[in-house]
Structure 1
């Protein structure tokens, strides 16, 4: 009977199926409202400084509940479109013009990451420097005391782990906690397939070793996190850089062209809050990326280290959530959200899980058992989500302040990204400014930046820098950023006079 009904009413069934699909794919009402208001702000229809209607008034206007308007306003706050002012309401924040989509070289190149990286990392821990270089936030933003107490308690309860070698794949409790947390990214991960690593960089390195051989070509974003370039350099891999949009991430059309024309063996990508530009791929693009991996039978190594910092729940969804064939290898850590000093990462490598686990066993031991158990307890508590919401708000405010200072103090014509989360700003200076020269002059003044040359295998991005604005704004840091702007203005003036 069921078969006959479907056959006779095929047109109706198809229509109902399409309607159900549309309903499932349609965004929630608060998001529709938030997108509409953001569009008005981006186009200037809502001018900078405009006060939004009160939540009650807006709810009556739109015929929705006050809670829907509240969610929409919170979403816009997370995106950095509006700001709340005590006892005044919500106001449209200033925005700056973003850099254009990158245009990297089409040919693969051997990776050579410069010694500047070492200087940037050393200066980050040196109190004599004001660093906008290394990717770290103020340590007091993290729940250090709560974690310290948790580790002490775990050491007492699980003292026997000190006298045993650690589990190579990680404590089962931590892997279960990671599996549970991955649900917030839309991922159903089997904890038995998860391997705990020494940070996300090791996870990505293991994945690269599992699916490539020296000399192979790997597709990466352009600009790309310089840590990835170091990974490629250490394994003698070549990089083909894929154009990346400052808001929507890697161009999948360009990626497909690269796959058509070159023997790409793997794709390394940060679909959510990428480093250095802070872009987030739309959900439709993440779905397409997972489908492309399956169609081309090519591994995608997805870094989700900053997914928890994305400004929207939709943005936090991972490409791995759309993977049905095991072609997406997902790598993460808690260094940006919970405990940078613990350097605990993880990987679920899909169809290459066995190879990654074997490589992990061959190259390094596991972490300290009682520390992993303490971290698992932290993740299982509801306080972690509360901490994330607090962090997202703080980082959005940090970024807003940084963008304001750059807009006021840097040369005319400077562009900057408007990141979808996290605490990085990529700044594109006018073409006459050499970021290496800017780096050298700032370093002499004990100010640290990261020049754009570190984020590519080519000679592009010579006029770009990345700034970390995750450290709390002090008078010294504010003045330091203004000084960087003044030095950039000096270099620009010298270039215009033909002195450089």
Structure 2
């Protein structure tokens, strides 16, 4: 592997976990993130007193200025408050956290019908600058390192042979594959560049996997609710979808998967911060799912597109980390973290590498050389991890602000998920409120939401909606959420 500069990525291993090493000047942020995670996960309660500045210094072996900077950081996120002569306390605002949505309970019958008109209506608003797009699950361009990405594009045109005009190797850009492999210990993996195939975005990765594994009429098990684009992809290939009951914190119900495993041909899951529920499967559950499917020779397609957006101090593991026999096909991309429009993704397909390579030859031949080289360089340097730290902090702050505004302005009985990462806020309104009707009313006030019905192939989630927390917080966003709450109350 080629040498890197002083800002290159490196990995620290601690208690069996791995995560990207921070430079010394970010020590305060690492400690602040750990405390923030304890608060948002409920381990430290609203009103609890925090250690004093002096105690924090002793606990972490840091100086007074660093400790003060940590408290300032937590105050800026509205997580703590100062009480004169008393010290620092967890903000009482957190006490108004809304209850969790209920676990889903879909019918365990494979389905192939979709609400195509509603889905088209919602996603037809992509790029509409006249709307506040709570409906589109990507980070705003204002949260992305656009200037640095432009520099990497220019750099790629000057360093690639023939300026990047030639075809890439079929398996994909070498720099990108090396970087993805080098970063795999952060989620418990041990990949090499030969294990990875690059793709034109995350959906292209999933598409190649489904085409490689399934035939028309086969049944694929998925979370319920789930991203509508995955439903559409499966149905376009002639597949049937069996939706699994899913808990908003821990993900799919494994007992149900065990009961239906003989009825499915493959499984497609988003174990880390799936959209729209935002659940994250515990490691023990991931291990159990991987072992169960391997025992029955059922492939698992794992979409880890949100894994890097964890709010806590340590990135969650992937199911691929527990894969001993090559039965898991890991898919990911930078569409939710860095550049949605660049369409850069990859697959670590395990035993199915030959099938994926054959399909890529037929359907793509080559990836976009300049773009993949640029993204590979950006990930290779410390720029990507620096960007992720800021983005994760912003998203965690946004979740708190969105949830607080919803608690204050939405109808009584509203429930909201408590994600520990990702971009999705799943809002469950009282049962009599139809979010399809709410969507139509909100559009008239310049607000676009994603009604819950588009995240399923069954008649469920009519009173739910997904809101994206990837928009920069502002008075405008607060106003639009208040307007949305007023419309919901009127219904």
Q: Confirm whether residue 232 of structure 1 aligns to residue 234 of structure 2.
A: yes
Q: Distance in 2 between matches of 1:210 and 1:387?
A: 34
For residue 282 of structure 2, what is the aligned residue in structure 1?
A: 282
Q: Confirm whether residue 193 of structure 1 aligns to residue 195 of structure 2.
A: yes
More helix as a share of residues: 1
Q: Is the 8 A contact 2:156 2:164 kept in 1?
A: no
For residue 52 of structure 1, what is the aligned residue in structure 2?
A: 50
Larger Rg: 1
For residue 434 of structure 1, what is the aligned residue in structure 2?
A: 434
For residue 257 of structure 1, what is the aligned residue in structure 2?
A: 259
Q: Is the 8 A contact 1:129 1:446 kept in 2?
A: yes
Q: Is the 8 A contact 1:249 1:281 kept in 2?
A: yes
For residue 167 of structure 2, what is the aligned residue in structure 1?
A: 165
The 5 Å alignment of 1:294-373 reads: 294-312=294-312, 314-373=314-373
| Gap change, CA 1:432 and 1:386, over 3 Å in 2 | same
Q: Distance in 2 between matches of 1:26 and 1:182?
A: 12
Moved more, 404-413 or 437-446: 437-446
RMSD value, Cα: 3.0
Q: Distance in 1 between matches of 2:389 and 2:17?
A: 25
| Gap change, CA 1:480 and 1:200, over 3 Å in 2 | same
Q: TM-score, normalised by structure 2?
A: 0.85
| Gap change, CA 1:477 and 1:304, over 3 Å in 2 | same
For residue 452 of structure 2, what is the aligned residue in structure 1?
A: 452
The 5 Å alignment of 1:101-500 reads: 101-158=103-160, 160-260=162-262, 262=263, 264-312=264-312, 314-491=314-491
Kindly state the Cα deviation for residue 113 of structure 1 after the two structures are TM-superposed: 4.0
Q: Distance in 1 between matches of 2:239 and 2:55?
A: 58
Q: Distance in 2 between matches of 1:472 and 1:221?
A: 29
For 1:123, what is the secondary structure of its paired residue?
coil
For residue 24 of structure 2, what is the aligned residue in structure 1?
A: none
**Structure 2: tracts of 5 or more residues without a match:** 1-13, 20-30
Q: Is the 8 A contact 1:111 1:237 kept in 2?
A: no
For 1:332, what is the secondary structure of its paired residue?
strand
Kindly state the Cα deviation for residue 86 of structure 1 after the two structures are TM-superposed: 8.0
Q: Distance in 2 between matches of 1:474 and 1:37?
A: 26
Q: Distance in 2 between matches of 1:113 and 1:235?
A: 17
For residue 7 of structure 1, what is the aligned residue in structure 2?
A: none
For residue 79 of structure 2, what is the aligned residue in structure 1?
A: 83
Kindly state the Cα deviation for residue 468 of structure 1 after the two structures are TM-superposed: 0.8
**Structure 1: tracts of 5 or more residues without a match:** 1-22, 492-500
Moved more, 290-299 or 47-56: 47-56
For 2:338, what is the secondary structure of its paired residue?
coil
Kindly state the Cα deviation for residue 487 of structure 1 after the two structures are TM-superposed: 0.8
Q: Is the 8 A contact 1:398 1:423 kept in 2?
A: no
Give the number of aligned pairs. 453
For residue 7 of structure 2, what is the aligned residue in structure 1?
A: none
* CA-to-aligned-CA distance 1:113-152 (integer Å, 9 cap, x gap): 4233333233231111111101122202111111101111
Q: Distance in 1 between matches of 2:296 and 2:129?
A: 49
Q: Is the 8 A contact 2:308 2:315 kept in 1?
A: no
Q: Distance in 2 between matches of 1:351 and 1:449?
A: 40
Q: Distance in 2 between matches of 1:434 and 1:58?
A: 49
Kindly state the Cα deviation for residue 374 of structure 1 after the two structures are TM-superposed: 1.7
For 1:109, what is the secondary structure of its paired residue?
coil
